[in-house]
Structure 1
């Protein structure tokens, strides 16, 4: 396989009955996209052909049986399975989940082996993908189990980057899960990610409170005063620009988020509800903290519009461009770090 200088993007195709394949095909309908990277889809010829026929998309696909056969300048398709699959567009089925996992598993294996440079994931259905082999709340948790590092889900757009202190857990468990250790861990991951992945040398991070009005001095809960505030003060004393806690309603209502490089929300909907209200359709889900780059669009399987040629590929395109930039930023960061260590070593000698 001729590596050339093209970044090879591994793409898992998501739920077969959703809009994943549609947004992938629409993204690469514009052949100029192949100037930026070499895509490798992990799926099957019959699955892609079925969607192409339904959607009347004529993109040429280059089928391969091994990564050595990847051709730059083409949309490559690694055949993961060969058997016939029953399609029920718009429906959540066990088959849709099973083959979504097979695609994801093969793409992650290639990512681990280094035959693809980064991972772009189309949406899965968190219920039908569950099996003996997949017992995770979503992509983020699965990837953390397969790759190196501790993960942080970050939803990002041109105007904000929102990370989550707690991820896919029930609201009833959120308060118990928030500890000084967890806050320190997530702040550390976001801080390093902003430096390494986004070229921000001295990041400024806001942390949201847990309770309404940050507890109103204990009237509506004590966690903000007893756990969050002291932990943030300790982090500030180490020299990091981390501020809070901020009451979430006023923070977003007054656009205070525009003053920060990153925001950490205490739980899923506290961060993602305002993010999607402000950026839905152009947002990107980025898994920070791991040794490999992974992004995805900010939406789900879109069963309600699957097969109707209505899916908007903009978020998927943004996820692709973001992943490429983050990958390049990491390479540059490592070079600068290496040079700094060399310079330090010369000084000492």
Structure 2
């Protein structure tokens, strides 16, 4: 049994030339956040002390060298490195990217070792992180390798949840990538996430078409008729409330999405453009399907405003609260599965903000 303590929330620092450090520090400038969790930032207390002066943020940092030194009620900064870093806001820099990966590796290892309970990742630059020993397009693919399960990019708010069949796949490769096996795997991941992570006992899921107008009965493309429709029918016959394919162009504008607990988009922009249009600044990127919990804000490094003290920490704060809610819901779900006579709640029980 784990000792009674606040949820330990690990944070990877992201690209130091971007806005990650700013939104992290702004989030925990509010001391009330320490009532909900114990933050552990994987970086360097020397660097963060410099950055909080840059942003005129008045908060105390607790520098530590190992997780056994983590203290509740403090903003813990675990020193992944101690040397200085040459920060040039708004610039793409492989050396700075290497520090982002050091932070990510250390925080992921702590998550695997149960030294932290959840992980929130600040934005990285996908070009500057590339190296001989780190060749991943982003966080999700790396975490999928390191943590057990089948990862899925799941963009979430309290009222809108969008999952992707394919994420960082070139448009020309989408149709060939989407197979019945992939559809069944992704839908199953979303279905299970809605149940254990969001407390929805009987989720209702919509699937968007691959082609415009879902292929118009084969006039525009055959993939919807030959791949999506029979697979969705088979899933539906298994007892899951999964419907579609729906034409993507009118699905969000007509408010059809409000009738479902989650929407499955066929590819990246089909799902993320409407999601970010409807919820930018409040959305969270959740990596569903893993045995550990990871969230991140719905924005990137925002080099154009980095270092100017203009970044809005709203999405990062939402990512923190989402991670805490999901952790609480998973713990409750485990108890429910041990004692099935208990009634499963419809809505999450953790109230953070």
User: Smaller-chain TM-score range?
Assistant: over 0.9
Partner in structure 1 of residue 110 of structure 2: 110
Does residue 192 (structure 1) correspond to residue 208 (structure 2)? The answer is no
Q: CA deviation at 1:10?
A: 0.5
Q: CA deviation at 1:4?
A: 3.5
Query: After superposition, where does 1:260-279 map in structure 2 within 5 Å?
Result: 260-279=260-279
Cα distance in structure 2, aligned partners of 1:274 and 1:94: 32
- Report if aligned partners of 2:61, 2:75 keep a CA contact under 8 Å in 1: yes
Q: CA deviation at 1:3?
A: 4.9
Partner in structure 2 of residue 221 of structure 1: 221
Partner in structure 2 of residue 210 of structure 1: 210
Q: CA deviation at 1:83?
A: 1.6
Q: Secondary structure at the match of 2:340?
A: helix
User: How big is the alpha-carbon RMSD for the aligned residues of Structure 1 and Structure 2?
Assistant: 1.2
Task: Report Cα offsets for 1:256-276 as digits up to 9, x if no partner.
Answer: 000000000000000001100
Partner in structure 2 of residue 93 of structure 1: 93
Q: CA deviation at 1:84?
A: 1.9
Partner in structure 1 of residue 316 of structure 2: 316
Does residue 45 (structure 1) correspond to residue 24 (structure 2)? The answer is no
Cα distance in structure 1, aligned partners of 2:131 and 2:145: 16
Partner in structure 2 of residue 346 of structure 1: none
Q: Secondary structure at the match of 1:235?
A: helix
Partner in structure 1 of residue 182 of structure 2: 182
Q: TM-score, normalised by structure 2?
A: 0.95
Q: Secondary structure at the match of 1:254?
A: coil
Q: Secondary structure at the match of 1:47?
A: helix
Task: Report Cα offsets for 1:132-173 as digits up to 9, x if no partner.
Answer: 222111111110000000011100112210000001111111
Query: After superposition, where does 1:1-349 map in structure 2 within 5 Å?
Result: 3-340=3-340
- Report if aligned partners of 1:206, 1:245 keep a CA contact under 8 Å in 2: yes
- Report if aligned partners of 1:235, 1:242 keep a CA contact under 8 Å in 2: yes
Task: Report Cα offsets for 1:216-256 as digits up to 9, x if no partner.
Answer: 11110000000000000000110110000000011111010
Unaligned 5+ segments in structure 2 are: 343-353
Q: Secondary structure at the match of 2:129?
A: coil
Task: Report Cα offsets for 1:88-117 as digits up to 9, x if no partner.
Answer: 111111122110000000000000000000
Cα distance in structure 2, aligned partners of 1:323 and 1:216: 40
Partner in structure 1 of residue 350 of structure 2: none
Cα distance in structure 2, aligned partners of 1:5 and 1:87: 35
- Report if aligned partners of 2:49, 2:61 keep a CA contact under 8 Å in 1: no
Q: Secondary structure at the match of 1:132?
A: coil
Task: Report Cα offsets for 1:259-307 as digits up to 9, x if no partner.
Answer: 0000000000000011001100000000000000100000000111111
Q: CA deviation at 1:5?
A: 2.3
Task: Report Cα offsets for 1:55-86 as digits up to 9, x if no partner.
Answer: 11121100001111111000000000112211
Q: Which 4+ runs in 1 deviate beyond 3 A? A: none
Cα distance in structure 2, aligned partners of 1:341 and 1:188: 24
| Pairs aligned (count) | 341
Q: Secondary structure at the match of 2:172?
A: helix
Cα distance in structure 1, aligned partners of 2:338 and 2:169: 39
Cα distance in structure 1, aligned partners of 2:37 and 2:84: 30
Cα distance in structure 1, aligned partners of 2:257 and 2:277: 14
- Report if aligned partners of 1:16, 1:47 keep a CA contact under 8 Å in 2: no
Q: Secondary structure at the match of 1:124?
A: coil
Cα distance in structure 2, aligned partners of 1:133 and 1:112: 20
Q: Secondary structure at the match of 2:286?
A: strand
Q: CA deviation at 1:51?
A: 1.1
